[in-house]
Amino acid sequence: MVHDLIIGMAGSGGDGIVSAGESLIGAAAAEGYFAILTKSFGSQIRGGESSCRLRVSTRKVLNPGGTLDVAVVLNWEDFLKFGAELPVGPDTIVIYETKTGVEPAAIPLRGVTPAAVMAVPMEDMALKAAGALLAKNNVVLGLLAGWFDLARDSIPAGIRKKFAKKGDAVVHANEQAFAAGLEYAAKNPLPVDRRLSPAEAGAGRRLLTDGNDLCGAAALFAGCKFFGGYPITPATEIMQYLGREIWKRGGSLLQAEDEIAGVAAAVGASFAGVKAMTATSGPGLSLKTEVLGLASVAELPLVCVDVQRGGPSTGMPTKPEQADLFAAVFSAHGDTVRPVLAPISVEDIFGITVEAFNIAEHYQTPVIVLSDQEIAQRKEIVAPIDTSGFKLVERLRPTAAELENYTRFRFTESGISPLSHPGMKGGNYLAAGIEHDERGAPTASGEMHARMNDKRLKKMDPLRQRRDLFVVGDPDAAVGLISWGSIAGVTLEALQLARTGGLKIKLLIPKLLYPVADEIYQDFFASLQKCLVVEQSHQGQLHRLIRMWTSVPAEFHSLARSGANPITPAQVLAEIRKLAGR
């Protein structure tokens, strides 16, 4: 019995392989497992190669994992196109379609001998059981349920639900295909036992969701009443989710004519007094930059989610990367500090999005949430979200006394001044991108500009003390890791493996990337001789950003890789061993 199973499947667009993955994760959720499902496609809109990777476990899943435990190959040509995304190793069980005419002893994998190779006539079984080639993916589900004891009881319910609209005959045919797979597995046992342990008894309900939907739900929870955006992969689902839901809670949504208009409308809504949001991906972030600067200078709260994808320019829209950090931090002209937050998992995007609204409202500033394609679009089974622990922050409004002689940009000790909105009598003021004095009147005075810059920058200082936005490990280890975003889930697992292996090590996961919390880094570095920053960008952007703002240990290494080249826990562990000299 195993506690954790990584299954990779690939085929052509019409093979229904992604649909099979979705059925599996739905069934796994129903049985109380934790899981992550990632999908990967060629760039075609329909057809072409498609694949998915399901990691299912009795415990919380931190990342999609590395080498596959099970490889399902509907066709070798498509499978091999995914290369490092679906790695096969000596412990992998390979299941493939007999029709491809490859001998089990001659499967096209260079330098690897899998633990077992099972050639299965899936197409013939589908035709025989269901009378349709299309039912092939349910044969696959039957094989997986049979061989790995995976959600055997819940899959049929999923099949019935999925095909209910198509009538009894279709439901029956697909049930037959599933049964054929089960039967084949029973008659042809695996040479190795890889059955998955049952989920913990009393595991309770599980929530199956993805980062984009959960980000939208978090926005609603935070009280977001306006969304302005434009379709862009892989961020569009945030707008789609809110397009279904925001109206029900008294808000509104604008699918704007372009990215600039989307963020501009959100800034307008914020000026009008409501919590507002926009969401985009890299190219859209570039376009929104000027308006984000306006929100900084006019001191208006705004949340901008950037779901990172491979860049620059169009780059790789369907692949994850963490290379927008520099853009999020630096893409503004003039002196500005714009808080940048990053969630580390689907579950985490809820709290991070809520916190982004809180920071935006409290500090009257745009906040960028750096999600990524991995978090945004992977399906994850998470424990139900307990919202009772979240506090919601509202912007500071002027008091009646302050409205008697309202001074919008009044210099205060904290740098935060009360913010009125149209409709509030006595609060009338001029908001502007142009430099202004305390009352909002335009100015060209160098002295006033310096004072206003100081006000706008110093108000962010308390953020650098937000220890709750950092996660740390063993306080006195000499070797440390830093990682952020979805890759932090990989590093977290590597840390656990290293500790299990007897290594003393600690890990810092900054969820607040900017402003750089220099003191928190200094405390982390205090015991360190060596540190490794693990991230998914060619330049190692966080590695460089930290050095810009604080001093670092003598050995400050970077493990950085361009997007769409998975970093696995095993690879991180190997680097840790090198650093620790073990």
Partner 1 sequence: MSVECPLSPEVFTAKDYRSSLKPIWCPGCGDYGVVTAIYRALAAIGRPPHEIAFISGIGCSSRIPGYTTAYGFNTVHGRALPIAQGIKMANPDLLVLAAGGDGDGFSIGGGHVPHAIRRNPGLTYIVMDNQIYGLTKGQLSPTSARGRKTSSSVYGSMEDPVNPLLYVLAYGASFVAQGVPADMEGLAKMIEEAIRFPGFAFVNIQSPCITFGDPETQLKTQKKRMRKLADEGHDPANRLRAMELAQAYSETLYTGVFYRNPTPPPTYESLIRERQQNLAGPVAALEQLLQANGTENGGLAAG
Touching partner 1, residues 418-447 (CB under 8 A): 420-434, 440-442
Only one residue has tokens 């859209």, namely 284
3-state secondary structure 81-109: HCHHHCCEEEEEEEEEEHHHCCCHHHCCC
Q: Within 13 Å and on the Cβ side, how many CA atoms surround 365? A: 26
Only one residue has tokens 């959720």, namely 29
Indicate whether 52 belongs to the interface with partner 1 (CB under 8 A). Answer: no
Indicate whether 328 belongs to the interface with partner 1 (CB under 8 A). Answer: no
As measured in angstroms, the least distance from the Cβ of 164 to partner 1 is 12
Nearer to partner 1, 17 or 118 (CB): 17
How far apart are alpha carbons 10 and 52 in whole angstroms?
Answer: 7
Residue 573 structure tokens: 């562990």
Indicate whether 220 belongs to the interface with partner 1 (CB under 8 A). Answer: yes
As measured in angstroms, the least distance from the Cβ of 220 to partner 1 is 6
As measured in angstroms, the least distance from the Cβ of 472 to partner 1 is 28
Contacts of partner 1 in 8-37 (CB under 8 A): 25-26, 29-30
Q: Which stretch binds partner 1 (CB under 8 A): 100-108, 222-230, 317-325, 475-483?
A: 222-230
Lay out the site mask for partner 1 across 179-218 (x = CB under 8 A, - = otherwise): --------------------------xxxxxx--xx-xx-
Nearer to partner 1, 142 or 427 (CB): 427
Q: Which stretch binds partner 1 (CB under 8 A): 77-85, 195-203, 248-256, 310-318?
A: 248-256
3-state secondary structure (DSSP) of residue 304: strand
Among 10, 54, 119, 261, binds partner 1 (CB under 8 A): 261
Indicate whether 48 belongs to the interface with partner 1 (CB under 8 A). Answer: no
Q: What angle do CA 568, 354, 311 make, to 5 degrees?
A: 45
Only one residue has tokens 């562990």, namely 573
How far apart are alpha carbons 97 and 119 in whole angstroms?
Answer: 6
Contact 477, 506 (CB under 8 A): yes
Among 2, 260, 472, 497, binds partner 1 (CB under 8 A): 260
Check whether the bond before 566 is cis (ω within 30° of 0): no
Neighbouring residues of 100: CB distance < 8 A, sequence distance ≥ 6: 73, 75, 76
Among 166, 244, 467, 538, binds partner 1 (CB under 8 A): 244
Nearer to partner 1, 250 or 446 (CB): 250
- Within its chain, how far is the Cα of 279 from the centroid? 14
As measured in angstroms, the least distance from the Cβ of 515 to partner 1 is 24
Q: Which stretch binds partner 1 (CB under 8 A): 119-127, 263-271, 351-359, 564-572?
A: 263-271
Q: What angle do CA 383, 387, 390 make, to 5 degrees?
A: 125
Indicate whether 450 belongs to the interface with partner 1 (CB under 8 A). Answer: no
3-state secondary structure (DSSP) of residue 43: coil
Q: What angle do CA 527, 509, 476 make, to 5 degrees?
A: 20
Q: How many residues bind partner 1 (CB under 8 A)?
A: 76
Contacts of partner 1 in 286-315 (CB under 8 A): 290-291, 293-294, 298
What residue type is assigned to position 191 of the chain? Answer: P
Nearer to partner 1, 307 or 512 (CB): 307
Q: Which stretch binds partner 1 (CB under 8 A): 9-17, 71-79, 253-261, 544-552?
A: 253-261
Contact 61, 35 (CB under 8 A): yes
Among 180, 238, 276, 325, binds partner 1 (CB under 8 A): 276
Nearer to partner 1, 232 or 276 (CB): 276
Nearer to partner 1, 30 or 125 (CB): 30
Nearer to partner 1, 27 or 145 (CB): 27
* Per-position DSSP letters for 396-428, written without gaps between them: PPPPHHHHHT--TT---SSS------TTSTT--
As measured in angstroms, the least distance from the Cβ of 365 to partner 1 is 17
Contacts of partner 1 in 370-389 (CB under 8 A): 379, 381, 384-385, 387
Nearer to partner 1, 111 or 250 (CB): 250
Q: Which stretch binds partner 1 (CB under 8 A): 53-61, 334-342, 417-425, 537-545?
A: 417-425
As measured in angstroms, the least distance from the Cβ of 262 to partner 1 is 8
Among 89, 273, 315, 317, binds partner 1 (CB under 8 A): 273
How far apart are alpha carbons 314 and 316 in whole angstroms?
Answer: 6
The H-or-E segment that residue 208 falls in is strand 207-210
- Within its chain, how far is the Cα of 176 from the centroid? 37
Indicate whether 252 belongs to the interface with partner 1 (CB under 8 A). Answer: yes
How far apart are alpha carbons 321 and 566 in whole angstroms?
Answer: 10
Nearer to partner 1, 249 or 578 (CB): 249
Q: Which residues, in sequence order, are bridge partners of residue 382? A: 207
214 sits in the region (left: phi over 0; alpha: psi -120 to 50; else beta) called alpha
Indicate whether 258 belongs to the interface with partner 1 (CB under 8 A). Answer: yes
Among 10, 118, 120, 274, binds partner 1 (CB under 8 A): 274
Residue 204 structure tokens: 């309770």
As measured in angstroms, the least distance from the Cβ of 337 to partner 1 is 19
Q: What is the DSSP letter of 459?
A: T
